[in-house]
Amino acid sequence: MLLAGGARADRLTYTRTLPAREGRTADWPGWADPALVGGYRALGVDRPWEHQAQAADAAWEGRHVALATSTGSGKSLAFWLPALTAVGRTLPAQRRGAVLYLSPTKALAADQLHSLERVLGAMPDGAGRDLRVGTCDGDTPTEERRWVQDHADVVLTNPDFLHFSLLPNHRRWARYLRALRYVVVDEGHAYRGVFGAHVSLVLRRLARLVDHYRPLAEPARGVSRPRSGTLTFVVASATSAEPAASAARLVGAAPDDVTAVVDDASPSGRRTVVLWQPPEVESFTFLRSGPGDAPTADDPWALPDPLDPGHTEGEQETVVTEDGAAEHPRRSATAEVADLLADLAAHGARTLAFTRSRRGAESVAQAARDHLRPVSTDLSRRVAAYRGGYLPEERRELEQAIRTGALLGLATTNALELGVDISGLDAVLIAGWPGTRMSLWQQAGRAGRAGADGLVAFVAREDPLDTYLVTHPEAVFDAPLEATVFDPANPYVLAPQLCAAAQEVPLRSDDLPAFGDADHVRSVLDELVTRGALRRRPSGWYWTHAQPAAGMADLRGAGGQPIRVVEAPTGRLLGTVDAASADGQVHDGAVYVHQGVTFVVDHLDLTDRVALVVRRDVDHGTWSREVMTIAIDPEHQPAAPGAAEGEPGGASDDAGAPGRVEQRSWGPVTWGLGPVEVSSQVVSFERRRIPDMQVLGTQALDLPERALVTTAVWWSVPEDELRAAGLDPEVVPGALHAAEHASIGLLPLLATCDRWDLGGVSTDLHPDTGEATVFVYDAYPGGAGFAERGYQLGATWLRATRDAIVACPCDHGCPACVQSPKCGSYNSPLDKAAAVTLLDLVLGHAPAAP
């Protein structure tokens, strides 16, 4: 095989071949609109796959459906068939049903419209013209929006539009809401963390308004009981764990009311999957990069940070130990993937290369073209980049070109992971762990077609999780897929959503169960009344302010408006930095790199949310220092058994009631989960010369302290246990700190998060626990559900953490094990060996593995 040959064989750490799958078809359902079936037939779909028919049947019967199958398995046919049939295109306008299609981004809604139009266009005798379809988002002109409000049977949009526009202006949408029968939630796995929690509540607001507009003769929609004639949700997602449970939580239904369809009946070719670790390099240069692209709707996982090795892609990275010396850095994953892409293209293989950032996609494409140019100019032109931020026409051209083979190689961000219908390629390269096994298989699914073999290569970055995975193939291939994690009970999400709901139609007591546990919802409402956000009247809760309540919620959890980076002399907008990282990245005196050009921040104005920068060539980079403290919320210390919180009559003593500290013991080791307040402040920064990293000077900063109330998981160990294990007081801080970093790197193995969604604090004596303690918290107000997964799976989590540290061949710790790209204390102190001793001590008390 191409990749296994010659000098590179030692880079393969593991190979597995997955067998081909035969396709299984079913009959077209008898209830389906014959013209629609005709349309699909005209496009070459003779018969549906079994899973398509199964999902379509369940949805047609009014059951909620969770359809979790592979890329290219035709999920859209499964939902359009019942949904478009239910529109009843030949019925008079007032009796027609309506459909809402939601995708996580605008671009995907546009892509879906495009493929839907193909089906409609193929319907015999122009029958497709009987269906009125429109997209609506923030950019839709008023005229067009009005047409959609008045006439559309099918509306394609995103959750942001639903939240900020459609629901608050529901009166204009009354015709449509009254007719609404099907809600299709596409790419359901994208709704995780804070975003997932918000969207789940937006969907409950939608369901409530649909009830509100239903003619009185129709039965009200039961919260957890779908009935024929009421709203039916179809959640399409990548293959994931517990798809029915995730879908049920997302749409606010009981898990039993959701039919899961997971048995993929579409055919696929044999696939060879390899794990690949780039080689160590002899010499290297250190190139500091500027902040990466900020996450956007198009590219939600391109996370920014100047120090994240994963985001200095296309460049070689150095590894700096405490004394500033570098040791065995590895070649970057993007450089390696660029070589592979060029080789595969030279052999005529159609290949997709997934990268973790927009810049990564551009640099892989560029490097692959550079490699190919000496061979053939024509060949070098057949490699391109694809990412969010391109114009739709440009994207469509690229998609078409890779489908037809006009292009051989496409380096892409996960903009292509979602939605876009490209499959059956010869190879897929994955530069850096895409975050979850779910995403990995979603990307891998683009390789291989019936009758042809496909190749998939996962190329590790220098990062604890990537390193762990290439040396633990069972964690890639044999571990269960992650569950999509989010928490709709998060009060920081629930409160603004309840305000938005109250503004739409005042909330009545009957409405509360639709938004979660009624007692919990009521306690959040009481708090909102106390704060003056809502007004309580006998008939319910009212929003009485002039401004729109939807403005209180930031669906994607970006933590407020980003800071604009503006060139002072010219007023040119260079870019933005998200609110959460601005203090550390664009403080006064910070070096800001944009497209390889260096600027120095003249002034950070937090009031106007702008950082003014000037162009300057400098020989140094800047590294900020942050001090952090964490306190377990004193009002939520563990409650005595049976003690109740909340108002009289509304008391609940659920063990899992939100907002309470939970604890469990492993012998002397104590685990906790609960609300914490994290206080952080960027206090100073260092100028370090590049490339030798020599410290040129330190300067104090005067920035405000930031407080974050969130959910944390923690574990603590008594001092005598540490002593008995040989951990002396001087090594304990480094052991805890190293264990904290590595465990943050490994938690994404268990929850659908990224290390950037988490934070950590470690201390050899914490006032609340009275012991040496490591905290890992969700980096979002109120929490996002990730820390909770760590608490539930503590033993698995720390075992993986320990193994990752032990498996790393470095001597004193490196980015692949205990160093963190976002450490606020310059990765010091860190003690790799002591961290292993500490984790062995803790794990020695763990309950036996199941």
Binding site for Zn ion (CB under 5 A): 808, 810, 814, 816-817, 823
* d(C-alpha 195, C-alpha 488), whole Å: 10
Q: Please report how close the Cβ of residue 806 comes to Zn ion at its closest, in angstroms.
A: 10
* d(C-alpha 836, C-alpha 113), whole Å: 53
Cβ closest to Zn ion, residue 436 vs residue 622: 622
Biggest CA–CA distance in the chain, Å, is 83
* Angle of the 832-843 helix axis to the 794-807 helix axis, nearest 10: 150
624 DSSP β-pair partners: 685
Q: Please report how close the Cβ of residue 11 comes to Zn ion at its closest, in angstroms.
A: 18
Cβ closest to Zn ion, residue 471 vs residue 663: 471
Q: Please report how close the Cβ of residue 139 comes to Zn ion at its closest, in angstroms.
A: 42
Question: Closest Cα partner for 514 from 154, 210, 264?
Answer: 210
Cβ closest to Zn ion, residue 457 vs residue 804: 804
Beta pairing class for 597-605 and 610-615: antiparallel
Let me know how many helices (H) and strands (E) the chain has, helices first.
24, 28
Cβ closest to Zn ion, residue 747 vs residue 808: 808
Q: Please report how close the Cβ of residue 824 comes to Zn ion at its closest, in angstroms.
A: 6
CA 539 to chain centre: 40
Q: Please report how close the Cβ of residue 440 comes to Zn ion at its closest, in angstroms.
A: 23
* d(C-alpha 56, C-alpha 67), whole Å: 10
Q: Which tokens go with 393?
A: 């026409």
Cβ closest to Zn ion, residue 511 vs residue 831: 831
Query: CB 665: neighbour CB atoms within 10 A?
Result: 9
Q: Which long-range contacts (CB under 8 A, 24 or more apart) does 612-620 make?
A: 612/566, 612/567, 612/568, 613/565, 613/566, 613/567, 613/568, 613/574, 613/586, 614/567, 614/568, 614/569, 615/567, 618/591, 619/689, 619/690, 620/591, 620/687, 620/688, 620/689, 620/690, 620/696
Q: What strands, in cross-sheet order, belong to the sheet with 351-354?
A: 12-18, 271-276, 454-459, 427-431, 351-354, 409-412, 383-386
* Angle of the 106-122 helix axis to the 75-87 helix axis, nearest 10: 70
Q: Please report how close the Cβ of residue 795 comes to Zn ion at its closest, in angstroms.
A: 23
Would you report the helix, strand and coil content of the chain in percent, each value rounded to 5? 35, 20, 40
Q: Please report how close the Cβ of residue 314 comes to Zn ion at its closest, in angstroms.
A: 23
Cβ closest to Zn ion, residue 499 vs residue 738: 738
Cβ closest to Zn ion, residue 383 vs residue 830: 830
Q: Which tokens go with 627?
A: 């001090």
Cβ closest to Zn ion, residue 701 vs residue 810: 810
* d(C-alpha 492, C-alpha 717), whole Å: 31
Q: Please report how close the Cβ of residue 816 comes to Zn ion at its closest, in angstroms.
A: 5
Burial 519-539 (b: 16+ CB within 10 A, else e): bbbbbbbbebeeeebbeeeee
Q: Please report how close the Cβ of residue 745 comes to Zn ion at its closest, in angstroms.
A: 11
Cβ closest to Zn ion, residue 605 vs residue 840: 840
Q: Please report how close the Cβ of residue 808 comes to Zn ion at its closest, in angstroms.
A: 3
Q: Please report how close the Cβ of residue 584 comes to Zn ion at its closest, in angstroms.
A: 13
Cβ closest to Zn ion, residue 140 vs residue 680: 680
Q: Which tokens go with 44?
A: 């070459």
Residue 135 near residue 157 (C-beta atoms within 8 A)? yes
Cβ closest to Zn ion, residue 127 vs residue 808: 808
Cβ closest to Zn ion, residue 243 vs residue 813: 813
Q: Please report how close the Cβ of residue 755 comes to Zn ion at its closest, in angstroms.
A: 12
For residue 378, give every residue at least 6 positions away whose Cβ sits within 8 Å of its Cβ, in sequence order, or none: none
Residue 459 near residue 340 (C-beta atoms within 8 A)? yes
Residue 823 near residue 769 (C-beta atoms within 8 A)? no
Using the 8-state DSSP alphabet, how is residue 717 labeled? Answer: E
Cβ closest to Zn ion, residue 191 vs residue 775: 775
Q: Is 149 helix (H, G, I), strand (E, B) or coil?
A: helix
- Considering only CA atoms, give the Rg of the chain: 27
Q: Please report how close the Cβ of residue 718 comes to Zn ion at its closest, in angstroms.
A: 23
